[in-house]
Structure 1
């Protein structure tokens, strides 16, 4: 499933929906090279989609934006496999509980 040699892997299997976000926190002192692969029932896996997260920083991508709305159906839940070359903390956020972005 992954083309990157990583030492950290997790899956979110509870059924993400289009519009959901992931908070990805790189807790290391170097860049985190992260791959996300989306899996839905009855379909082929989509990805991997690659992100680079700077040291001790957070990214919170909207999952649907990563795959250009290529997810099978707005009503079909999917799982996400996260692979990283360094430890990252991952927290899913349902679309109805969007992260608040502060004005900078």
Structure 2
């Protein structure tokens, strides 16, 4: 589902739909400063959104939790780029469990 693109950087290209969540697990003994950037075809990137994940804890934000003024493309899939200053595991979690096994490419 995810592809490592560098040191503590991850790209999720499966196409996160509005309502989906990203489960973020900080596996380090220190707080992780994380930046999330979302991209949809034909639109400007959203973010970066900055989060702090406490040591050895999780956060599960949805895109709607991060965007104050509403999504510019509410029906399009978004790719996500995750950058962290500490090791963080990232797992997309579809809001619609029936879509969990169907690849929804945003490209």
- The TM-score range, normalised by the shorter chain, is 0.7 to 0.9
Residue 76 of structure 1 aligns with which residue? 76
Please list every run of 5 or more consecutive structure 1 residues that lacks an aligned counterpart in the other structure: 1-5, 98-104
Residue 39 of structure 2 aligns with which residue? 39
Aligned pair count?
Answer: 92
Residue 20 of structure 1 aligns with which residue? 20
In the TM superposition, structure 1's runs of 4+ consecutive aligned residues that sit over 3 Å from their partners are none
Q: 3-state DSSP class of the match of 1:95?
A: coil
Question: What's the CA shift string for 1:4-52, capped at 9, x where partnerless?
Answer: xx94100111111111101100000000000000111111111100000
Q: CA deviation at 1:70?
A: 3.4
User: Root-mean-square deviation (CA), in Å?
Assistant: 1.5
TM-score using structure 1 length:
0.82
Question: 2 CA distance for matches of 1:13 and 1:70?
Answer: 22
* Counterpart contact for 1:24–1:89, Cα < 8 Å: yes
Please list every run of 5 or more consecutive structure 2 residues that lacks an aligned counterpart in the other structure: 1-5, 98-107
Please say if 1:85 is aligned against 2:85: yes
TM-score using structure 2 length:
0.80
* Counterpart contact for 1:31–1:55, Cα < 8 Å: yes
Question: 1 CA distance for matches of 2:73 and 2:59?
Answer: 25
